[in-house]
Structure 1
Amino acid sequence: MIAHSGEGADDRQRTGRAVTRRAVIGGVMGAGLLEMLPLGTYRQNEAMAEDLAAGPYRGDDGRVLFTADAPQVYTRAQWNARAPRRAAEVVDRPPDHIIVHHTATANARDRSLAHAFALSRSIQNIHMNKNGWDDAGQQLTISRGGIVMEGRNRSLKAIRSGDLAIGAQVLHHNQHTIGIENEGTYMSAAVPGALWKSLMEVCVWLCQKYDLDPSEAIVGHRDYNNTSCPGDVLYARLPQLRRSVAERLEGTSGQSSTSQGGSDGGSILSPLLPSLDDLG
Protein backbone atom coordinates (compact mmCIF):
# COMPACT_ATOMS: atom_id res chain seq x y z
CA MET A 1 0.00 0.00 0.00
CA ILE A 2 1.23 3.50 -0.78
CA ALA A 3 0.68 6.42 1.59
CA HIS A 4 -1.12 8.99 -0.47
CA SER A 5 -2.35 11.83 1.68
CA GLY A 6 -0.17 14.48 3.25
CA GLU A 7 -0.75 17.17 5.82
CA GLY A 8 0.79 20.41 4.66
CA ALA A 9 1.76 19.13 1.21
CA ASP A 10 2.55 21.95 -1.18
CA ASP A 11 -0.44 21.76 -3.49
CA ARG A 12 -0.61 25.42 -4.38
CA GLN A 13 0.36 24.69 -7.96
CA ARG A 14 -2.98 23.32 -9.08
CA THR A 15 -2.64 20.68 -11.74
CA GLY A 16 -6.31 19.90 -12.26
CA ARG A 17 -8.25 22.19 -14.54
CA ALA A 18 -11.37 23.96 -13.37
CA VAL A 19 -14.61 22.41 -14.51
CA THR A 20 -17.88 24.29 -15.02
CA ARG A 21 -21.36 22.89 -15.49
CA ARG A 22 -22.59 23.32 -19.01
CA ALA A 23 -26.16 24.00 -17.92
CA VAL A 24 -27.78 26.07 -15.20
CA ILE A 25 -28.66 23.78 -12.28
CA GLY A 26 -31.65 24.33 -10.07
CA GLY A 27 -32.12 23.18 -6.48
CA VAL A 28 -31.28 19.54 -5.87
CA MET A 29 -34.36 17.33 -5.80
CA GLY A 30 -34.75 13.62 -5.24
CA ALA A 31 -33.51 11.29 -2.55
CA GLY A 32 -32.80 7.99 -4.21
CA LEU A 33 -32.62 6.24 -0.88
CA LEU A 34 -35.25 3.54 -1.27
CA GLU A 35 -33.08 0.45 -1.01
CA MET A 36 -35.50 -1.62 -3.08
CA LEU A 37 -35.45 0.83 -5.99
CA PRO A 38 -32.55 0.48 -8.45
CA LEU A 39 -30.78 3.46 -9.94
CA GLY A 40 -30.22 4.28 -13.53
CA THR A 41 -33.31 5.51 -15.37
CA TYR A 42 -34.63 9.01 -15.75
CA ARG A 43 -38.18 7.87 -15.00
CA GLN A 44 -37.16 6.42 -11.62
CA ASN A 45 -35.15 9.50 -10.72
CA GLU A 46 -37.99 11.79 -11.76
CA ALA A 47 -40.45 9.82 -9.62
CA MET A 48 -38.16 10.04 -6.60
CA ALA A 49 -37.78 13.77 -7.14
CA GLU A 50 -41.55 14.19 -7.20
CA ASP A 51 -41.87 12.20 -3.99
CA LEU A 52 -39.23 14.30 -2.30
CA ALA A 53 -40.89 17.56 -3.26
CA ALA A 54 -43.62 16.73 -0.73
CA GLY A 55 -41.18 16.56 2.18
CA PRO A 56 -37.97 15.06 3.53
CA TYR A 57 -36.92 11.51 2.64
CA ARG A 58 -36.67 9.15 5.60
CA GLY A 59 -35.11 5.79 6.24
CA ASP A 60 -36.93 2.79 7.70
CA ASP A 61 -36.28 4.10 11.22
CA GLY A 62 -37.76 7.51 10.43
CA ARG A 63 -34.37 9.23 10.26
CA VAL A 64 -34.24 12.02 7.69
CA LEU A 65 -31.64 11.11 5.07
CA PHE A 66 -32.21 13.75 2.43
CA THR A 67 -34.25 16.89 1.96
CA ALA A 68 -35.06 18.64 -1.29
CA ASP A 69 -31.93 20.78 -1.10
CA ALA A 70 -29.17 18.65 0.37
CA PRO A 71 -28.28 15.40 2.14
CA GLN A 72 -28.67 15.19 5.88
CA VAL A 73 -25.06 15.65 6.94
CA TYR A 74 -24.34 14.84 10.57
CA THR A 75 -21.95 17.37 12.07
CA ARG A 76 -18.75 16.79 13.95
CA ALA A 77 -20.49 17.78 17.16
CA GLN A 78 -23.10 15.08 16.56
CA TRP A 79 -20.54 12.30 16.13
CA ASN A 80 -18.47 13.75 18.99
CA ALA A 81 -15.31 14.65 17.12
CA ARG A 82 -12.12 15.56 18.93
CA ALA A 83 -10.88 19.10 18.66
CA PRO A 84 -8.46 19.41 15.73
CA ARG A 85 -4.87 20.43 16.36
CA ARG A 86 -5.56 23.53 14.29
CA ALA A 87 -8.45 24.88 12.27
CA ALA A 88 -8.63 23.82 8.65
CA GLU A 89 -7.65 26.37 6.03
CA VAL A 90 -10.70 27.54 4.10
CA VAL A 91 -10.17 29.02 0.66
CA ASP A 92 -12.71 31.12 -1.13
CA ARG A 93 -12.86 28.98 -4.27
CA PRO A 94 -14.56 25.74 -5.21
CA PRO A 95 -12.81 22.42 -5.72
CA ASP A 96 -12.57 21.23 -9.31
CA HIS A 97 -12.73 17.49 -8.58
CA ILE A 98 -14.62 15.21 -6.20
CA ILE A 99 -12.40 12.33 -5.05
CA VAL A 100 -14.13 9.01 -4.27
CA HIS A 101 -12.36 6.88 -1.64
CA HIS A 102 -13.03 3.68 0.25
CA THR A 103 -11.93 3.34 3.86
CA ALA A 104 -10.41 -0.15 3.34
CA THR A 105 -12.08 -1.23 6.59
CA ALA A 106 -14.35 -4.22 7.17
CA ASN A 107 -17.61 -4.47 5.23
CA ALA A 108 -19.67 -4.22 8.39
CA ARG A 109 -23.32 -5.28 8.55
CA ASP A 110 -24.20 -2.65 11.14
CA ARG A 111 -26.11 0.18 9.46
CA SER A 112 -26.92 2.10 12.65
CA LEU A 113 -26.23 5.72 13.44
CA ALA A 114 -24.10 4.65 16.42
CA HIS A 115 -21.92 2.55 14.14
CA ALA A 116 -21.54 5.42 11.67
CA PHE A 117 -20.52 7.83 14.42
CA ALA A 118 -18.01 5.30 15.79
CA LEU A 119 -16.56 4.99 12.28
CA SER A 120 -15.99 8.75 12.06
CA ARG A 121 -14.32 8.83 15.47
CA SER A 122 -12.08 5.90 14.53
CA ILE A 123 -11.01 7.52 11.27
CA GLN A 124 -10.22 10.76 13.06
CA ASN A 125 -8.19 8.95 15.71
CA ILE A 126 -6.15 7.10 13.09
CA HIS A 127 -5.51 10.23 11.07
CA MET A 128 -4.45 12.24 14.08
CA ASN A 129 -2.69 9.58 16.19
CA LYS A 130 -1.13 7.35 13.54
CA ASN A 131 -0.70 9.70 10.59
CA GLY A 132 0.07 12.75 12.69
CA TRP A 133 -2.39 14.98 10.83
CA ASP A 134 -4.24 17.95 12.29
CA ASP A 135 -7.64 16.25 11.93
CA ALA A 136 -9.55 13.75 9.82
CA GLY A 137 -8.31 14.12 6.28
CA GLN A 138 -11.52 13.80 4.24
CA GLN A 139 -14.28 16.38 4.07
CA LEU A 140 -17.19 13.90 4.06
CA THR A 141 -17.77 10.30 5.16
CA ILE A 142 -20.56 7.90 4.17
CA SER A 143 -21.27 4.76 6.18
CA ARG A 144 -22.45 1.49 4.66
CA GLY A 145 -25.88 2.40 5.95
CA GLY A 146 -25.88 5.56 3.81
CA ILE A 147 -25.31 7.95 6.72
CA VAL A 148 -23.41 11.08 5.65
CA MET A 149 -21.09 12.83 8.11
CA GLU A 150 -18.83 15.84 8.12
CA GLY A 151 -15.15 14.89 8.28
CA ARG A 152 -12.50 17.61 8.48
CA ASN A 153 -13.40 20.62 10.61
CA ARG A 154 -15.08 23.55 8.81
CA SER A 155 -15.98 21.37 5.83
CA LEU A 156 -19.75 21.59 6.04
CA LYS A 157 -19.86 25.35 6.45
CA ALA A 158 -17.40 25.73 3.59
CA ILE A 159 -19.49 23.58 1.24
CA ARG A 160 -22.63 25.52 2.04
CA SER A 161 -20.76 28.75 1.26
CA GLY A 162 -19.27 27.45 -1.98
CA ASP A 163 -15.78 27.41 -0.45
CA LEU A 164 -13.29 24.63 0.20
CA ALA A 165 -11.89 23.47 3.54
CA ILE A 166 -8.49 22.08 2.59
CA GLY A 167 -8.21 18.43 3.57
CA ALA A 168 -5.48 15.78 3.61
CA GLN A 169 -7.02 13.13 1.40
CA VAL A 170 -5.06 13.02 -1.86
CA LEU A 171 -1.32 13.66 -2.02
CA HIS A 172 -0.28 16.80 -3.93
CA HIS A 173 -3.89 17.65 -4.82
CA ASN A 174 -5.53 18.70 -1.55
CA GLN A 175 -5.67 22.35 -2.56
CA HIS A 176 -8.20 21.81 -5.34
CA THR A 177 -10.18 18.66 -4.49
CA ILE A 178 -12.83 17.51 -2.04
CA GLY A 179 -12.85 13.91 -0.74
CA ILE A 180 -15.63 11.48 0.16
CA GLU A 181 -14.75 8.42 2.26
CA ASN A 182 -17.04 5.44 1.68
CA GLU A 183 -17.02 2.85 4.43
CA GLY A 184 -15.82 -0.59 3.40
CA THR A 185 -13.38 -2.39 1.12
CA TYR A 186 -14.48 -2.66 -2.51
CA MET A 187 -11.74 -4.60 -4.24
CA SER A 188 -14.18 -7.48 -4.85
CA ALA A 189 -17.22 -6.81 -2.63
CA ALA A 190 -20.34 -5.10 -3.95
CA VAL A 191 -21.20 -1.59 -2.80
CA PRO A 192 -24.30 -1.55 -0.53
CA GLY A 193 -27.37 0.07 -2.06
CA ALA A 194 -27.79 2.61 0.74
CA LEU A 195 -24.19 3.75 0.49
CA TRP A 196 -24.35 3.98 -3.30
CA LYS A 197 -27.50 6.06 -3.28
CA SER A 198 -26.12 8.41 -0.65
CA LEU A 199 -22.89 8.74 -2.64
CA MET A 200 -24.91 9.69 -5.69
CA GLU A 201 -26.93 12.30 -3.81
CA VAL A 202 -23.85 13.76 -2.15
CA CYS A 203 -22.23 14.12 -5.57
CA VAL A 204 -25.40 15.79 -6.89
CA TRP A 205 -25.25 18.22 -3.98
CA LEU A 206 -21.56 18.98 -4.45
CA CYS A 207 -21.87 19.42 -8.21
CA GLN A 208 -24.79 21.78 -7.68
CA LYS A 209 -23.03 23.74 -4.95
CA TYR A 210 -19.76 24.06 -6.84
CA ASP A 211 -21.09 24.26 -10.41
CA LEU A 212 -19.23 21.11 -11.49
CA ASP A 213 -19.76 18.83 -14.47
CA PRO A 214 -20.00 15.30 -13.01
CA SER A 215 -18.69 13.73 -16.21
CA GLU A 216 -15.33 15.35 -15.53
CA ALA A 217 -15.35 16.23 -11.84
CA ILE A 218 -16.03 12.82 -10.23
CA VAL A 219 -12.87 10.73 -10.08
CA GLY A 220 -11.32 7.96 -8.00
CA HIS A 221 -8.37 8.33 -5.67
CA ARG A 222 -6.26 6.13 -7.93
CA ASP A 223 -6.64 8.69 -10.71
CA TYR A 224 -4.26 10.92 -8.74
CA ASN A 225 -2.08 8.65 -6.60
CA ASN A 226 -0.53 5.18 -6.68
CA THR A 227 -3.19 3.38 -4.65
CA SER A 228 -5.88 0.72 -5.03
CA CYS A 229 -8.44 3.14 -3.54
CA PRO A 230 -11.45 3.22 -3.99
CA GLY A 231 -11.29 -0.50 -4.81
CA ASP A 232 -11.74 -2.19 -8.18
CA VAL A 233 -15.50 -2.63 -7.82
CA LEU A 234 -16.31 0.91 -6.73
CA TYR A 235 -13.89 2.39 -9.25
CA ALA A 236 -15.53 0.43 -12.06
CA ARG A 237 -18.88 1.97 -11.11
CA LEU A 238 -17.69 5.57 -11.37
CA PRO A 239 -18.89 5.93 -14.98
CA GLN A 240 -22.36 4.90 -13.79
CA LEU A 241 -22.09 7.36 -10.91
CA ARG A 242 -21.22 10.20 -13.30
CA ARG A 243 -24.17 9.35 -15.55
CA SER A 244 -26.63 9.07 -12.66
CA VAL A 245 -25.52 12.38 -11.15
CA ALA A 246 -25.70 14.12 -14.53
CA GLU A 247 -29.18 12.71 -15.13
CA ARG A 248 -30.38 13.92 -11.75
CA LEU A 249 -28.95 17.37 -12.32
CA GLU A 250 -30.45 17.72 -15.77
CA GLY A 251 -33.86 16.57 -14.49
CA THR A 252 -33.59 18.98 -11.59
CA SER A 253 -32.77 21.87 -13.89
CA GLY A 254 -35.86 21.22 -15.97
CA GLN A 255 -38.12 20.89 -12.93
CA SER A 256 -36.74 24.10 -11.45
CA SER A 257 -37.41 26.17 -14.57
CA THR A 258 -40.91 24.70 -14.88
CA SER A 259 -41.78 25.48 -11.27
CA GLN A 260 -40.65 29.06 -11.75
CA GLY A 261 -43.04 29.67 -14.60
CA GLY A 262 -41.35 28.27 -17.62
CA SER A 263 -38.29 29.55 -17.69
CA ASP A 264 -21.99 -7.14 4.69
CA GLY A 265 -19.90 -8.85 7.72
CA GLY A 266 -17.15 -7.92 10.14
CA SER A 267 -16.54 -5.51 12.96
CA ILE A 268 -15.63 -1.87 12.67
CA LEU A 269 -12.63 -1.73 14.96
CA SER A 270 -10.40 -4.77 14.47
CA PRO A 271 -9.38 -4.13 10.83
CA LEU A 272 -9.12 -0.37 11.19
CA LEU A 273 -5.50 0.01 12.25
CA PRO A 274 -3.79 -2.18 9.64
CA SER A 275 -5.87 -1.14 6.67
CA LEU A 276 -6.20 2.62 6.78
CA ASP A 277 -3.31 3.38 4.45
CA ASP A 278 -5.96 3.46 1.73
CA LEU A 279 -7.90 6.08 3.69
CA GLY A 280 -8.05 9.58 2.25
Structure 2
Amino acid sequence: MTTPPETGSFIRQLHGPLHSKASEYGGMAQTVTIVSRQQWGAVAPKSRAALKDPAQKVVIHHTANPSCKDQKECMNRLLSIQRVHMTEREFDDIGYNFLVGGDGTVYEGRGWGVVGAHAKRHNHESLGIAFMGNFKVDMPSTEAMSSVKRLLQSAVSQGFLNPKFTLVGHRDLGQTECPGGQLYAALPQLRGT
Protein backbone atom coordinates (compact mmCIF):
# COMPACT_ATOMS: atom_id res chain seq x y z
CA MET A 1 0.00 0.00 0.00
CA THR A 2 1.39 3.38 -0.97
CA THR A 3 1.55 5.95 1.80
CA PRO A 4 -0.09 9.27 0.89
CA PRO A 5 2.38 12.13 0.77
CA GLU A 6 1.86 14.76 3.41
CA THR A 7 0.81 18.22 2.29
CA GLY A 8 3.84 20.06 1.05
CA SER A 9 5.72 16.92 -0.02
CA PHE A 10 7.44 16.90 -3.39
CA ILE A 11 7.54 20.71 -3.47
CA ARG A 12 9.71 22.45 -6.02
CA GLN A 13 10.23 26.09 -6.88
CA LEU A 14 8.52 27.49 -9.97
CA HIS A 15 8.54 30.99 -11.41
CA GLY A 16 5.98 33.70 -10.68
CA PRO A 17 4.18 34.79 -7.54
CA LEU A 18 1.38 32.24 -7.79
CA HIS A 19 3.73 29.40 -8.72
CA SER A 20 6.10 29.74 -5.78
CA LYS A 21 5.36 26.22 -4.56
CA ALA A 22 3.80 23.29 -6.37
CA SER A 23 4.01 19.53 -6.32
CA GLU A 24 5.26 17.61 -9.32
CA TYR A 25 4.28 13.99 -9.73
CA GLY A 26 4.94 11.65 -12.59
CA GLY A 27 7.57 9.87 -14.59
CA MET A 28 9.98 11.21 -17.15
CA ALA A 29 7.49 11.04 -20.02
CA GLN A 30 4.44 12.54 -18.33
CA THR A 31 4.59 15.02 -15.49
CA VAL A 32 1.91 17.20 -14.05
CA THR A 33 2.46 20.16 -11.78
CA ILE A 34 0.02 20.29 -8.88
CA VAL A 35 -0.59 23.41 -6.81
CA SER A 36 -0.37 22.19 -3.22
CA ARG A 37 -2.95 22.71 -0.49
CA GLN A 38 -0.47 24.97 1.26
CA GLN A 39 -0.13 27.11 -1.86
CA TRP A 40 -3.86 27.72 -2.27
CA GLY A 41 -4.36 28.24 1.46
CA ALA A 42 -6.41 25.17 2.36
CA VAL A 43 -7.70 24.77 5.89
CA ALA A 44 -6.33 21.67 7.62
CA PRO A 45 -8.65 18.66 7.30
CA LYS A 46 -10.58 17.52 10.36
CA SER A 47 -9.32 13.99 9.65
CA ARG A 48 -7.74 11.88 6.88
CA ALA A 49 -8.39 8.26 5.99
CA ALA A 50 -6.00 6.30 3.79
CA LEU A 51 -7.39 5.15 0.45
CA LYS A 52 -6.89 1.52 -0.45
CA ASP A 53 -4.13 1.81 -3.04
CA PRO A 54 -4.14 1.67 -5.87
CA ALA A 55 -7.52 3.27 -6.58
CA GLN A 56 -9.62 1.19 -8.96
CA LYS A 57 -11.84 3.95 -10.27
CA VAL A 58 -11.74 7.62 -11.24
CA VAL A 59 -14.91 9.66 -10.79
CA ILE A 60 -15.12 12.85 -12.85
CA HIS A 61 -17.10 15.78 -11.44
CA HIS A 62 -17.78 19.41 -12.17
CA THR A 63 -18.08 22.01 -9.44
CA ALA A 64 -21.25 23.40 -11.11
CA ASN A 65 -20.26 27.02 -10.49
CA PRO A 66 -18.76 29.50 -12.96
CA SER A 67 -15.41 28.37 -14.34
CA CYS A 68 -12.18 30.02 -13.28
CA LYS A 69 -9.54 30.91 -15.81
CA ASP A 70 -6.49 31.91 -13.75
CA GLN A 71 -4.84 30.81 -10.53
CA LYS A 72 -5.93 33.73 -8.38
CA GLU A 73 -9.58 33.24 -9.31
CA CYS A 74 -9.32 29.46 -8.96
CA MET A 75 -7.66 29.69 -5.54
CA ASN A 76 -10.49 31.90 -4.30
CA ARG A 77 -12.98 29.38 -5.70
CA LEU A 78 -11.15 26.52 -3.96
CA LEU A 79 -11.41 28.26 -0.60
CA SER A 80 -15.13 28.76 -1.18
CA ILE A 81 -15.67 25.13 -2.19
CA GLN A 82 -13.72 23.88 0.83
CA ARG A 83 -15.70 26.16 3.15
CA VAL A 84 -19.03 24.88 1.76
CA HIS A 85 -17.91 21.26 1.94
CA MET A 86 -16.68 21.56 5.54
CA THR A 87 -19.40 23.79 7.01
CA GLU A 88 -22.60 23.16 5.05
CA ARG A 89 -22.01 19.55 4.02
CA GLU A 90 -20.05 18.71 7.19
CA PHE A 91 -17.24 16.94 5.28
CA ASP A 92 -13.83 16.57 6.93
CA ASP A 93 -12.24 18.49 4.05
CA ILE A 94 -12.84 19.53 0.45
CA GLY A 95 -14.50 16.49 -1.12
CA TYR A 96 -12.34 15.95 -4.20
CA ASN A 97 -8.84 14.51 -4.46
CA PHE A 98 -7.91 16.98 -7.22
CA LEU A 99 -9.49 19.90 -9.06
CA VAL A 100 -8.53 21.47 -12.39
CA GLY A 101 -9.07 25.06 -13.52
CA GLY A 102 -9.94 26.26 -16.99
CA ASP A 103 -6.31 27.15 -17.67
CA GLY A 104 -5.30 23.53 -16.99
CA THR A 105 -3.80 24.16 -13.55
CA VAL A 106 -4.28 21.16 -11.26
CA TYR A 107 -4.93 21.78 -7.56
CA GLU A 108 -4.46 19.31 -4.73
CA GLY A 109 -7.74 18.67 -2.92
CA ARG A 110 -7.39 15.75 -0.53
CA GLY A 111 -4.52 14.50 -2.67
CA TRP A 112 -3.15 11.06 -3.42
CA GLY A 113 -3.96 8.10 -1.22
CA VAL A 114 -6.68 9.85 0.79
CA VAL A 115 -10.36 8.82 0.85
CA GLY A 116 -12.51 11.57 -0.66
CA ALA A 117 -16.13 12.62 -0.12
CA HIS A 118 -17.29 12.89 -3.71
CA ALA A 119 -19.27 9.77 -4.65
CA LYS A 120 -21.29 8.05 -1.95
CA ARG A 121 -20.47 4.33 -1.59
CA HIS A 122 -17.48 4.69 -3.96
CA ASN A 123 -15.08 6.95 -2.05
CA HIS A 124 -12.94 4.14 -0.62
CA GLU A 125 -12.02 2.79 -4.06
CA SER A 126 -11.79 5.91 -6.21
CA LEU A 127 -10.10 9.20 -6.93
CA GLY A 128 -12.44 12.17 -7.37
CA ILE A 129 -11.33 14.74 -9.93
CA ALA A 130 -13.41 17.90 -10.38
CA PHE A 131 -13.30 20.26 -13.33
CA MET A 132 -13.91 23.75 -11.97
CA GLY A 133 -16.94 25.16 -13.77
CA ASN A 134 -20.41 24.24 -14.98
CA PHE A 135 -20.32 21.90 -17.94
CA LYS A 136 -24.02 21.46 -18.60
CA VAL A 137 -23.58 23.75 -21.61
CA ASP A 138 -19.92 24.83 -21.64
CA MET A 139 -17.21 22.58 -23.02
CA PRO A 140 -14.18 21.85 -20.83
CA SER A 141 -11.05 23.58 -22.08
CA THR A 142 -8.41 21.71 -24.05
CA GLU A 143 -5.90 22.68 -21.35
CA ALA A 144 -8.04 21.17 -18.58
CA MET A 145 -8.61 17.95 -20.51
CA SER A 146 -4.88 17.63 -21.25
CA SER A 147 -3.96 18.21 -17.60
CA VAL A 148 -6.38 15.56 -16.37
CA LYS A 149 -4.96 13.07 -18.88
CA ARG A 150 -1.46 13.76 -17.54
CA LEU A 151 -2.73 13.53 -13.95
CA LEU A 152 -4.21 10.09 -14.67
CA GLN A 153 -1.01 8.92 -16.35
CA SER A 154 0.99 10.16 -13.38
CA ALA A 155 -1.36 8.44 -10.94
CA VAL A 156 -0.81 5.14 -12.73
CA SER A 157 2.97 5.59 -12.96
CA GLN A 158 3.20 6.48 -9.25
CA GLY A 159 1.09 3.48 -8.19
CA PHE A 160 -1.86 5.50 -6.90
CA LEU A 161 -4.19 4.26 -9.67
CA ASN A 162 -4.63 0.76 -11.09
CA PRO A 163 -3.47 0.71 -14.73
CA LYS A 164 -6.81 -0.96 -15.59
CA PHE A 165 -8.86 1.70 -13.79
CA THR A 166 -12.47 2.47 -14.64
CA LEU A 167 -13.30 6.09 -15.46
CA VAL A 168 -16.89 7.24 -14.84
CA GLY A 169 -18.88 10.40 -14.52
CA HIS A 170 -20.49 11.08 -11.15
CA ARG A 171 -23.90 10.55 -12.79
CA ASP A 172 -22.94 6.92 -13.47
CA LEU A 173 -22.91 6.31 -9.71
CA GLY A 174 -25.93 8.26 -8.49
CA GLN A 175 -28.84 10.49 -9.36
CA THR A 176 -27.11 13.69 -10.43
CA GLU A 177 -26.40 15.66 -13.59
CA CYS A 178 -22.73 15.88 -12.59
CA PRO A 179 -20.35 16.32 -14.43
CA GLY A 180 -22.70 18.11 -16.83
CA GLY A 181 -23.68 16.96 -20.31
CA GLN A 182 -20.78 18.52 -22.20
CA LEU A 183 -18.08 17.16 -19.90
CA TYR A 184 -19.81 13.78 -19.72
CA ALA A 185 -19.81 13.59 -23.53
CA ALA A 186 -16.05 14.31 -23.49
CA LEU A 187 -15.19 11.50 -21.04
CA PRO A 188 -14.13 9.09 -23.84
CA GLN A 189 -11.21 11.47 -24.50
CA LEU A 190 -10.02 10.88 -20.93
CA ARG A 191 -10.55 7.12 -21.11
CA GLY A 192 -7.92 6.92 -23.83
CA THR A 193 -5.07 7.50 -21.35
> TM-score, normalized by length of structure 1?
0.56
Aligned residue number for residue 103 of structure 1: 63
Return the offset for 1:92: 4.9
Aligned equivalents of 2:153 and 2:80: distance in 1?
27
CA RMSD of aligned residues (A): 2.5
Which of 197, 207, 212 is the matching residue for 2:162? 212
The correspondence of residues 29-68 of structure 1 with structure 2, limited to 5 A, is 68=28
Report the identity percentage: 28
- Residue 65 of structure 1 contacts residue 147 of structure 1 at CA under 8 Å; is this kept in 2? no
CA-to-aligned-CA distance 1:221-266 (integer Å, 9 cap, x gap)? 11111111111111111112212x1xxxxxxxxxxxxxxxxxxxxx
> TM-score, normalized by length of structure 2?
0.80
Which structure's residues are more often strand, by fraction? 2
Match of 2:162, SS?
coil
Return the offset for 1:107: 3.0
Distance 1:70 1:231, change over 3 A: same
Match of 2:130, SS?
strand
- Residue 99 of structure 1 contacts residue 218 of structure 1 at CA under 8 Å; is this kept in 2? yes
Aligned equivalents of 1:91 and 1:184: distance in 2?
26
Aligned residue number for residue 232 of structure 1: 181
- Residue 52 of structure 2 contacts residue 125 of structure 2 at CA under 8 Å; is this kept in 1? no
Return the offset for 1:150: 0.7
Aligned residue number for residue 6 of structure 2: none
Q: Highest relative contact order (Cα 8 Å, sep 6+), 1 or 2?
A: 1
Which of 35, 38, 55 is the matching residue for 1:77? 38
Return the offset for 1:137: 0.8
Question: Which ranges of 4 or more aligned residues in structure 1 deviate by more than 4 Å?
Answer: 63-67
Q: Which runs of 5+ in 2 are unaligned?
A: 1-13
The correspondence of residues 170-249 of structure 1 with structure 2, limited to 5 A, is 170-210=119-159, 212-213=162-163, 217-243=166-192, 245=193
Aligned equivalents of 1:219 and 1:93: distance in 2?
18
Distance 1:240 1:205, change over 3 A: same
